[in-house]
Amino acid sequence: MKGIYIHIPFCHQICHYCDFNKVFFDKQPVDDYLKSVLIEIEHTLRENKEPQNLESVFLGGGTPTSLTDQQLGTLLAGIIKLVPNAASLEWTSEANPDELTASKLDILAKYGVNRLSMGVQSFQPHLLQKLGRVHHNEQVFQAISYAKSIGLSNISIDLMYGLPDQTLEEWRETMEIALSLDLPHYSAYSLLVEPKTVFYNLFRKGKLPLPGQDLEATMYAELMRFMEENERYQYEISNFGKENFHSIHNSIYWSNESYAGIGAGAHGYLNGNRYSNIGPIKKYIQAVQSTNNAIHSTHLVTKEESMEEQLFLGLRMTKGVSLREFSEKYTVSLEDVFGETVNDLTNKGLLVRDGDYIQIPPKARFIANEIFSRFLLS
C-alpha cells in the first residue's frame, strides 16, 4: 500500500460541475463521520495484507476545509495517532480559498500537513459564478500568502478551461495570474459535463454554451506553452510542476500502485482488488461502527485488466510506460500484448519511443482518451 486517500464529503456550496460523493455540511452527523473515518483507517491498516510502504496521505472531498477548526484538528490528530509518520510523507489537503482561514492553516501546519491543493478554477468572477464557486480572488491571494509565511510552501492550485462562454483571452489571463503567484505546482483540467450535475441538466436543455473542440484544443496548447515558458514542466496530461514538486499521491494512481480509499463513497485498490465504499453518509457510519467495514463492492482485477490499466494510467504521464517494468510485472513483453496497437499508433505519430518508454507526444495529448481506448483487449 503506497497511499491513503481520505474522503471528506461535506461542502458549504455544491459546484455546478462536481459529480463526487458530497452533501451540504448543514445538519450532517459530521462528528460521527470523522470518528468512523478513523475507525476505518485503523481497521484498514490492521487488516491490509500488503507491505505498508506508505508514501502519501491525501485528504480530499467534498472539502476538508469545510470542517470547523475543532473538527479539523480532531481529524488530523486522529490520523497522526494511526499513521505516526504521516508528517514525514507527502500529506496533502484539498482546500477552498474562502474556507482557508489563518486558523485552519495553522491547524494544518501544526499537525504536519505539508501540501495544499486549492480549488481556484478561474480568476474571472463571472466564470466563478457560472461554476457555482463562491470565493473571490483576494481570498486566494491572502490564503497563499499566509500559507507561505508559516512554511506551507508546497502549494498547488486547480484551474479549469473549456468553461461556458470562456474566451481564449480569459484563459490566458487566468494562467498569467496563476503563474504570477509563483507556485511550484499547477493542475489544469478541461470541463467534463458529468451526469447528476447542474451543468448536465443545463446541457440537456441546450443551455450550456461550451467552447467548441477546436477552441478547447487551442486552450490546451496554450496551457502547455505557458507552463513550459514558466518552467513548470508537464509530467502528466493535466499536471505541471517544478522538479521535486510532482504529486506523489496522484503518481501512485498513474503508476497503477495500491492505495486505500477511506470514507463514504471512496475507492481503493488493495491486494489486487478495486473496491468502493458505501456512499450515503449515515449508512457508511452505521456500517463502520457495527462491522468496522464500509466496503460496498469489490472487483478482483484480472491480469488482462491490470495490463490495460497499466497502459491507460501510465500513458497519462509524459514519461509514458516502461517496457522493462511492464515485462517484469506481468512476465510478458508489452510488444507481445499490445504490439500491433503500439505500431499502428506510432506510425500515425500518436505514440513515440524514448529509450525504454513509449509515450504520447505533446501534439497528441489533447486526444489522449482516444489513444487510451485503443488498449482495450476485449
Sign of CA dihedral 296, 247, 109, 99: negative
Sign of CA dihedral 175, 177, 178, 184: positive
Q: How many residues does the chain have?
A: 378
Q: Which three cell numbers stand for residue 314?
A: 501510465
Distance separating alpha carbons of residues 142 and 145, to the nearest angstrom: 5
Burial of residue 363 (number of CB atoms within 10 Å: 0-12, 13-18, 19+)? exposed
Read off the amino acid at residue 177: I
Task: Specify the pLDDT at position 100.
Answer: 95
Distance separating alpha carbons of residues 9 and 281, to the nearest angstrom: 8
The CATH number assigned to the domain with range 318-373 reads 1.10.10.10
Q: Which three cell numbers stand for residue 336?
A: 507481445
pLDDT tens digits, one per residue of 81-93: 999 899 999 999 9
pTM over 0.85: yes
If DSSP codes are grouped into helix, strand and coil, which group holds residue 120?
A: strand
- Average of per-residue pLDDT across 351-362: 96
Read off the amino acid at residue 371: I
* Closest to 187 (Cα-Cα) out of 141, 138, 246, 100: 246
Burial of residue 178 (number of CB atoms within 10 Å: 0-12, 13-18, 19+)? buried
Architecture of domain 3-254: Alpha-Beta Horseshoe (3.80)
Helix (H) / strand (E) containing 235: strand 233-236
pLDDT tens digits, one per residue of 224-251: 999 999 999 999 999 999 999 999 999 9
pLDDT of 22 higher than 70: no
How far is residue 260 CA from its own chain's centroid? 14
pLDDT of 21 higher than 70: no
Task: Specify the pLDDT at position 210.
Answer: 87
Task: Specify the pLDDT at position 62.
Answer: 83
b/e map 218-239, b = 16+ CB within 10 Å: bbbeebbebbeebebebbbbbb
Q: 247 vs 20, which has greater pLDDT? A: 247
Residues near 169 by beta carbon (within 8 Å), at least 6 away in sequence: none
Q: What share of the chain has pLDDT > 90, as a percent?
A: 84
- Looking at residue 207, the DSSP 8-state letter turns out to be -
Q: Calculate the dihedral angle through the C-alpha atoms of 136, 179, 103, 54, rounding to the nearest 10 degrees.
A: 130
* Closest to 112 (Cα-Cα) out of 151, 156, 65: 151
Task: Specify the pLDDT at position 51.
Answer: 65
Alpha helices in the chain (DSSP H): 30-47, 69-82, 102-110, 125-131, 137-149, 168-180, 198-204, 213-229, 248-254, 281-291, 303-314, 323-330, 334-347, 368-373
pLDDT of 19 higher than 90: no
pLDDT tens digits, one per residue of 46-66: 988 776 789 999 999 889 999
pLDDT of 165 higher than 70: yes
CATH topology agreement for domains 3-254 and 318-373? no
Region of 373 please: left (phi>0), alpha (psi -120 to 50) or beta.
Answer: alpha
- Average of per-residue pLDDT across 176-193: 95
Distance separating alpha carbons of residues 346 and 343, to the nearest angstrom: 5
pLDDT tens digits, one per residue of 102-135: 999 999 999 999 999 999 999 999 999 998 888 9
Task: Specify the pLDDT at position 35.
Answer: 98
pLDDT tens digits, one per residue of 261-313: 999 999 999 999 999 999 999 999 999 999 999 999 999 999 999 999 999 99
Across the chain, what does the average pLDDT equal? Answer: 94
pLDDT tens digits, one per residue of 197-227: 888 788 788 878 888 899 999 999 999 999 9
Region of 178 please: left (phi>0), alpha (psi -120 to 50) or beta.
Answer: alpha
Distance separating alpha carbons of residues 280 and 264, to the nearest angstrom: 7
Task: Specify the pLDDT at position 295.
Answer: 96
If DSSP codes are grouped into helix, strand and coil, which group holds residue 346?
A: helix
Q: Cis omega (within 30 of 0) on the bond before 212?
A: no
- Structural domain boundaries of the chain? 3-254, 318-373
